[in-house]
A and B are shown apart, each in its own frame.
Chain A
Amino acid sequence: DTAVSQTPKYLVTQMGNDKSIKCEQNLGHDTMYWYKQDSKKFLKIMFSYNNKELIINETVPNRFSPKSPDKAHLNLHINSLELGDSAVYFCASSLSAGTGVQPQHFGDGTRLSIL
């Protein structure tokens, strides 16, 4: 069973479109994250949610809007896609960060390509 699953695995779309990526974890974790990995392989935190509440928003354009319907799901919606949004987006989850950051488990990633 996949612990952290993301859909879709690949997403090819045109500039200006709106798209969503979904993430689900079955590990019983209560903290979920979105990371962006660019073409140079840099891994950068975008958002973090703890028990459905946003706790980190790292200077990400407001075209990116995360939503957490429950603590097992964290989706990412992107409006008006731009060329620079092309990257691999990783979802991750961990136990509560309340007592310090815990080991994070990553999904397989969503490779987003903007034409």
Chain B
Amino acid sequence: GENVEQHPSTLSVQEGDSAVIKCTYSDSASNYFPWYKQELGKRPQLIIDIRSNVGEKKDQRIAVTLNKTAKHFSLHITETQPEDSAVYFCAATNQAGTALIFGKGTTLSVSS
């Protein structure tokens, strides 16, 4: 079945720096790649997503890039702020295209 690897597991940056989180997936049929942010004790919230027919998508300080050939996608956060501190999860569709398989998460800490 689909397997999603996410790196790094923890990431510490200074306020204003950029942060990059990378994910790889195993099933070449996967066609939808969302990113979720989960603050402590809260629900996962969708922050950005990308479909397989697009290589890059941007929303203000957040961008996602997708390389279908290499089967990897990345989240880029620019001008980080303390409120960006959270656990970030990448996900990809399963083989049947009916569910999401999540990476193990990256704990991002932004210090001021």
Q: Judge whether B63 is part of the interface by a CB distance below 8 angstroms.
A: no
Separation in Å of the A27 CB from the closest CB of chain B?
13
| Neighbouring B residues of A55 by C-beta, 8 Å | 98
| Neighbouring A residues of B49 by C-beta, 8 Å | 103
Whether the Cβ atoms of A105 and B99 lie closer than 8 Å is: no
Chain B interface mostly: strand
Whether the Cβ atoms of B99 and A43 lie closer than 8 Å is: no
Q: Judge whether B68 is part of the interface by a CB distance below 8 angstroms.
A: no
Q: Judge whether B101 is part of the interface by a CB distance below 8 angstroms.
A: yes
Whether the Cβ atoms of A105 and B104 lie closer than 8 Å is: no
Contacts A44-B102, A45-B99, A103-B34 given: A108-B43 contact, CB under 8 Å? yes
Contacts A41-B105, A48-B98, A48-B99 given: A100-B44 contact, CB under 8 Å? no
Size bracket of the B interface:
20 to 34
Whether the Cβ atoms of A43 and B44 lie closer than 8 Å is: yes
A residues contacting the other copy or chain, number (CB 8 A) = 23
Per-residue CB proximity of B87-102 to A under 8 Å, as 1/0?
1010001101111111
Separation in Å of the A110 CB from the closest CB of chain B?
11
Whether the Cβ atoms of B100 and A101 lie closer than 8 Å is: yes
Complex-state Cα separation, A106 to B38, whole angstroms: 11
Residues of B69-112 whose CB lies within 8 A of A: 87, 89, 93-94, 96-102, 104-105
Q: B97's closest neighbor in chain A, by CB?
A: A100
Complex-state Cα separation, A40 to B98, whole angstroms: 25
Whether the Cβ atoms of A90 and B99 lie closer than 8 Å is: no
Q: Judge whether A66 is part of the interface by a CB distance below 8 angstroms.
A: no
Separation in Å of the A94 CB from the closest CB of chain B?
9
Contact of A107 among B36, B43, B104 (CB under 8 A): B43
State the B residues within 8 Å of A (CB): 31-32, 34, 36, 38, 42-46, 49, 51, 87, 89, 93-94, 96-102, 104-105
> What would 5 more interface pairs be, CB under 8 Å, given A40-B104, A100-B51, A109-B43?
A42-B102, A90-B43, A101-B32, A101-B100, A103-B49
State the A residues within 8 Å of B (CB): 33, 40-45, 48, 50, 55-56, 58, 90, 97, 100-101, 103-109
